[in-house]
Amino acid sequence: MAGEIPDFHAEVRTGTGKGAARQARRAGMVPGIVFGGDADPLPINVEFKVLLKALKAGRFKSTLLNMKVEGHDDVRVICRDVQRHVVKDLPTHVDFMRLRRTTKINLFIPVEFINENAAPGIKRGGVLNAVRPEIELIVTAGDIPEKLTVDLTGVDIGDTINISDITLPVGSKPTIDRDFVVANLSAPSGLKSSDNEDEVDAADVPATE
């Protein structure tokens, strides 16, 4: 289970319809709705500044949130839609969906690399390139991994690490349906330059008859 699910605060929106929505926006709030699960839809207001900051941070629609609304039990939600102003491109309405433990959702899971000291390529000065520091997985809401672990033991210069090399949590799978590269270990720049010079020197040597 993910170690920390960020809290997201909202307040109950009194009244529905365009009038209540306009009143919320004038007060610096963005109207929204929480739906799904075993409860009735809940009209809410979210502080405009908070929502805008979260949207600018990226991947808001694929981040699991702990919705906190005064007078209601906390509930895990994920954003399903953000309506924006056609000219200003600012949020005007937001929809959140409640999640059951068995709900399948797409989330970006961070990748952690371990045992760098046991990687021969790193000892020789190789550079680890994390092609995908996060991987989007289809996971069950009640069994979300905190991270994916990549063991670098034995990895040498020129080696690549694919998604098939990583043990994924039971019941989860990548959203990309192919064996893609997660990271690789490249030669240090000094070694590359030396190799290039060797190639040039060899080309300059006239062929013997």
pLDDT digits (tens, 9 = 90+) for 4-43: 788 999 999 987 788 888 889 999 999 999 998 888 999 9
User: Among 104, 105, 110, which Cα is nearest to 148's?
Assistant: 110
pLDDT, tens digit (0-9, with 9 covering 90-100), for 157-184: 999 999 999 999 888 999 999 999 999 9
For residue 185, pLDDT over 80 is answered with: yes
Query: Model-level pTM?
Result: 0.66
Q: Quote the pLDDT of residue 192.
A: 52
- Give 116's pLDDT tier (boundaries 50, 70, 90): very high
Highest-confidence segment of 98-102, 147-151, 205-209: 147-151
Alpha-carbon separation of residue 123 from 130, 147, 154, 158 (angstroms): 17, 25, 11, 13
Strand pairing partners for 68? 9
Q: Report pLDDT for 21.
A: 86
Grouping H, G, I as helix, E, B as strand and the rest as coil, residue 52 is helix
* pLDDT bracket for residue 121 (50, 70, 90): very high
pLDDT of residue 18: 83
What average pLDDT score do residues 59-70 get? Answer: 89
Number of H helices, E strands in the chain: 4, 13
Greater confidence (3 vs 18) lies with 18
pLDDT at 203 over 50: no
- 126 confidence band (pLDDT: 50, 70, 90): very high
Local structure of 112: helix, strand or coil: strand
The Cα–Cα gap between 70 and 36 comes to: 19
The confidence score (pLDDT) of residue 190 equals 61
Residue 104 has pLDDT above 80, yes or no: yes
> In the prediction, which pLDDT does 111 show?
94
What number is the average pLDDT over the span 80-87?
Answer: 93
Q: Residue 191 has what pLDDT?
A: 56
